[in-house]
Amino acid sequence: MKTVFLKFSAILLAGLMLLPLLAACDDPFYNSVPEVSTVDPEERPLEGGQKPSSEGGQKPSSKGWQSSLTEEEEGKPIINERFDGEKVRFAVNGEGLNSRSIDIGEGDDPTNTVNVQIMKRNAQVEKELGVDIELSYVGEMQTFFGILQTILASELYVYDVLGLSQYFDLGLSLGDTVGSFYNLADLPEGVTSYLNPETSYWSKSLYETTSYKEVSFFITGDLNLSYLSTLFVSYVNARMWEEYKDEIADLEHSGGYRDPYDIVNNGYWTMDLWMELSRLVYEDTNKNKVQDYLDRTGLMTYDQQLNNIMVDMLIAGSHVTFSTLDGEGTPQAKVNTPKNTAIYHKLYTLLCESDAVTIPWLGTEGNKDENYILDIFAEGNVLLNLNTLSAAEKYLSDMKDDYYVMPLPMFDHAQFDKNSPSLGYASSLLGDDINQYAICQAIGDEKLPCVTATLELMAYYSEKWVTPAYYENVLGDRYGKDPRAAAALELTRAGLYTDFVMVWSCKLDNVNWKWRQHFTEKDKIENNLRSWERNVTGKLKNDLLEQFEPCLCHLLFE
């Protein structure tokens, strides 16, 4: 395997010189909990794209996979082909986790437990398929779009797979670059694809909700470490919880339980309980009669700021949605709903009217760490915190107190569903860093089996080897030796959901960011939701869906 970083100017110059030639030639676990969506029928998240049958054996077709593997095969894809000598070249957006997801570079620690498993995975895939996995280019956030748009518009055969930023880059599949990527839901007749979006190592939720009718360009899951690292979770100071556990059991919304995992497993881990915990724990430690970062508190939050992803996490835990499907499978904006209004009001109450301490975005004067809240949490003065899973590795590794990792709080106890794999807990994947993988059409149909087989096996072994290593690397003994912590993390993965407007928010008035900017505006809640729905409706109809039309026209004339 090789990790090759090429300067774009050199690639483009060489590509333009060789364009006529390139145009004429082809370059020779365990089973995790399935993702589910726990949502009211009238406000269900969008579903679309391919829906394989569950009967029979493997039957790859021009429409993709139509079945699952047998239990005896333990979920491993059966690929009876070898592709000796073929390179599979990746270009990804983002250094760090996104580049390491594909290959380990010279600057990466080869002894890191996660890196060891990635190298093991690549060696196994290369051995089984006879391919060479190559990381050819790593772009930077918000500059990748312009670079690759030039390549795609020129139809240069430079890369096989692009790892695109979920937030900033998905528009590459639309507009002037329609036809640059294979439509995974409608592949050429007679061409074998080994991609199976129904498996646990791909995110079925994201696959379906980035799709429009029978148009689907993107797939992601365990293959991308950012998909794992940006899981939204709750952090709870275990020592502080132990101090207050008897009082917690007496709270109205605790269900009478003292143990935090009992509270979670019985559906009482809610925003209502968080409001009570905020009031229970608060103490003006420095006696200055002002809520500040030195106080002992149940919950700490930032003031009104665009980058306050804590707001994203709270509304995700409440299972907010921004769209539904009509009878023809067309997305319709549904931002101004009774449910969203109730979530907005409770969000305001929790963050602005409880005893949650609010601090400036950049922390105290002179501190430029934008995640300063987690530094305070690590000092042992805060009971509750919300953040991504990856934050534990960066900010909590030296924390003296033990801490629990829990799902996001639900909106209320009525959201609890004891028959659901997630028990009704919800979490979303809105992270900018998550790479969605698209296959460049310039590779040609003959190479499609090789590329899809490589992606499928990489994803399979990622779930089997890389994902457990990542969880253990981030959470240490909490994941490997505490089955309750592992079960709580599985609840979070089981409750992953999204919808069409969330995924395409960058092209739809950035509606998922609106809550961050305006969560303190109690008197404008209803007006804000009406305004956001009006704006999203216009952009959805006139700016986004019409860009899918060339793809749909292609289907009509097949």
Mean pLDDT of the chain: 80
**CA-atom Rg of the chain in angstroms:** 24
Reported as a pLDDT band with limits 50, 70 and 90, residue 107 is confident
pLDDT at 481 over 60: yes
What's the pLDDT tens digit per position in 21-67? 323 333 332 233 333 333 333 333 333 333 333 333 333 333 333 33
Q: Is the dihedral of CA 333, 432, 264, 380 positive or negative?
A: negative
Give 401-442 as a DSSP string: S-EEEEPPPBSSGGG--TTSTTTT--EE---TTPEEEEEBGG
What's the pLDDT tens digit per position in 217-229? 889 999 999 888 8
φ, ψ at 296 (rounded to 5°):
-85, 125
Distance CA 454, CA 449 (A): 8
- Strand partners of residue 384: 236, 299
44-56 in b/e form (b: 16+ CB < 10 A) is: ebbbbbbebeeee
Q: Which CATH superfamily includes the segment(s) 2-25+52-229+431-475? A: Periplasmic binding protein-like II (3.40.190.10)
What's the pLDDT tens digit per position in 278-288? 989 888 777 88
CA distances from 481 to 135, 255, 477, 478 (A): 35, 27, 5, 6
E strand or H helix at 234: strand 232-237
> Bigger pLDDT: 522 or 58?
522
Average pLDDT over residues 399-427: 94
Q: Beta 357-359 vs 427-428: how paired, if at all?
A: unpaired
Average pLDDT over residues 328-340: 91
pLDDT at 554 over 70: no
pLDDT of residue 26: 36
What's the pLDDT tens digit per position in 232-289? 899 999 999 999 999 999 999 999 999 999 999 999 999 999 999 998 988 877 788 7
Distance CA 126, CA 104 (A): 15
pTM (two decimals): 0.78
What's the pLDDT tens digit per position in 139-187? 887 678 788 888 888 888 899 999 988 776 777 767 667 778 999 988 8
Calculate what percentage of the chain has a pLDDT beyond 90: 42
Q: Is the dihedral of CA 158, 160, 165, 167 positive or negative?
A: positive
> Bigger pLDDT: 548 or 516?
516
Task: Indicate the SS3 state at residue 219.
Answer: strand
Asked if 226 contacts 98 with a C-beta cutoff of 8 angstroms, the reply is yes
pLDDT at 453 over 90: yes
- Total H helices, total E strands in the chain: 22, 14
> Bigger pLDDT: 32 or 302?
302
Q: What angle do CA 439, 440, 441 make, to 5 degrees?
A: 115
Distance CA 178, CA 90 (A): 20
pLDDT of residue 432: 65
Where residue 200 falls (left for φ over 0; alpha for ψ -120 to 50; beta otherwise) is: alpha
User: 486: burial class by Cβ within 10 Å (0-12, 13-18, 19+)?
Assistant: middle
Distance CA 153, CA 166 (A): 20
Return the CATH number of the domain spanning residue range 232-428+499-553: 3.40.190.10
CA distances from 506 to 144, 210, 213, 543, 555 (A): 15, 13, 20, 11, 26
E strand or H helix at 383: strand 382-388
Out of 59-63, 469-473, 535-539, which region has the weakest mean confidence (pLDDT)?
Answer: 59-63
Residue with tokens 């190592």: 201
Asked if 233 contacts 406 with a C-beta cutoff of 8 angstroms, the reply is yes
Token pair of 139 as six digits: 């772009």
pLDDT at 542 over 70: yes
Reported as a pLDDT band with limits 50, 70 and 90, residue 129 is very high
CA distances from 99 to 3, 83, 187, 480 (A): 9, 24, 28, 26
> Bigger pLDDT: 458 or 35?
458
Distance CA 259, CA 257 (A): 6
pLDDT of residue 243: 95
Average pLDDT over residues 354-360: 78
pLDDT of residue 2: 53
> What residue ranges of the chain are covered by domains with CATH 3.40.190.10?
2-25+52-229+431-475, 232-428+499-553
